[in-house]
A and B are shown apart, each in its own frame.
Chain A
């Protein structure tokens, strides 16, 4: 039913129905914004990029043949927009320098981070991951995207997607080793 509605919506958008496109934006805005906001820290930048994604969708809809699911196609656009935006921004955000460089060892009491602090550390650690790892983590845990869907969206073999996701988590675990205890 959802797929049929989706096709109908896409068809109406292709015919230039502005209300249909507005409906499409409404339906996918949380997914698109959520994915981007989890890879870009600045919310206003995330909104700009999310709008860019919808502009690309609007331009690309006439060429969307419906072979893949609409959400898969949207993932692909989000991945491209994020990759283009973040390539020059890599390594701009750093964790607490002392903690990351290991210059000082935290005491036992320091290790008792609250969940909030841990989450904050996690967000900062995620920003340090390569852009493709960040997007994989965001898509997998935000929308519960299946590996197959991610593989199709990112045009990668299924095994590569799984390996990259495991490696991303492995890197996070190592970055947060102290805090996770």
Chain B
């Protein structure tokens, strides 16, 4: 039997997964080189089995969870942005379609008079509403502040 054949079988023998047959056993008994190699393989097996197991650092779970939350928040932001952009595009498409229908059907000429009438109405309405504008402005500012605080608090939480 050749040394190369025996050397190829040393690792399974050293790991206890292969029992050397008579030919291999005879070769190992007569060849000091292969016998020494088997001893090396057994030693290596022992060292590999005795290697200390590296343990995860103490704060590993909390740090991982923080990364998971950050990643999830980013995904949600991305989805929100995608949703808003899509909504804007849909609105634009609707407005464009309405304009196209009006333009093609000749309703634009008719609607010019309607726009003028609407303009006069709006001016009248604005004159009437003007005295209450500060009140509405104050209410809007309050609402915006409240929404801002809510957004900030939610961002802090996530």
The reply on A30 being an interface residue by CB < 8 A is: yes
B11/A30 in contact, CB under 8 A: no
Taken residue by residue from 37 to 61, chain A's Cβ proximity to chain B (1 for < 8 Å, 0 otherwise) reads as: 1100001001100110011001100
A55/B67 in contact, CB under 8 A: yes
| Chain B interface size range | 20 to 34
The reply on B108 being an interface residue by CB < 8 A is: no
A180/B71 in contact, CB under 8 A: no
| Residues in A neighbouring B15, C-beta threshold 8 A | 169
The reply on A156 being an interface residue by CB < 8 A is: no
The reply on B57 being an interface residue by CB < 8 A is: yes
User: Which of these, A26, A54, A142, contacts B68 with CB under 8 Å?
Assistant: A54
Interface of A is mostly: helix
Taken residue by residue from 3 to 33, chain A's Cβ proximity to chain B (1 for < 8 Å, 0 otherwise) reads as: 0000000000000001001100110011011
Number of A-B contacts (CB under 8 A): 99
B68/A169 in contact, CB under 8 A: no
A137/B40 in contact, CB under 8 A: no
Q: For A122, A137, A142, A170, which residue has the most chain B Cβ atoms within 10 angstroms?
A: A170
| Residues in B neighbouring A176, C-beta threshold 8 A | 40, 44
In the bound complex, CA of A95 to CA of B55 (Å): 25
A169/B55 in contact, CB under 8 A: no
| Residues in B neighbouring A141, C-beta threshold 8 A | 48-49, 51
A33/B55 in contact, CB under 8 A: yes
In the bound complex, CA of A142 to CA of B49 (Å): 8
B72's closest neighbor in chain A, by CB?
A: A58
A180/B61 in contact, CB under 8 A: no
| Residues in B neighbouring A67, C-beta threshold 8 A | none
Q: A118-B47, A141-B48 are in contact. Are A170 and B61 (CB under 8 A)?
A: no
Taken residue by residue from 99 to 140, chain A's Cβ proximity to chain B (1 for < 8 Å, 0 otherwise) reads as: 000000000000000010011001000000000000001000
In the bound complex, CA of A50 to CA of B55 (Å): 12
Question: Which 5 A/B pairs are nearest by Cβ-Cβ distance?
Answer: A37-B54, A33-B56, A166-B11, A29-B56, A180-B40
17 A/B residue pairs, CB under 8 Å, sorted by A: A25-B64, A26-B61, A29-B56, A30-B53, A33-B57, A33-B60, A34-B55, A50-B56, A54-B67, A55-B64, A55-B68, A58-B71, A122-B47, A165-B11, A169-B15, A173-B10, A180-B40
Question: Which of A's residues lie within 8 Å of B, judged by CB?
Answer: 18, 21-22, 25-26, 29-30, 32-34, 37-38, 43, 46-47, 50-51, 54-55, 58-59, 115, 118-119, 122, 137, 141-142, 162, 165-166, 169-170, 172-173, 176-177, 180-181
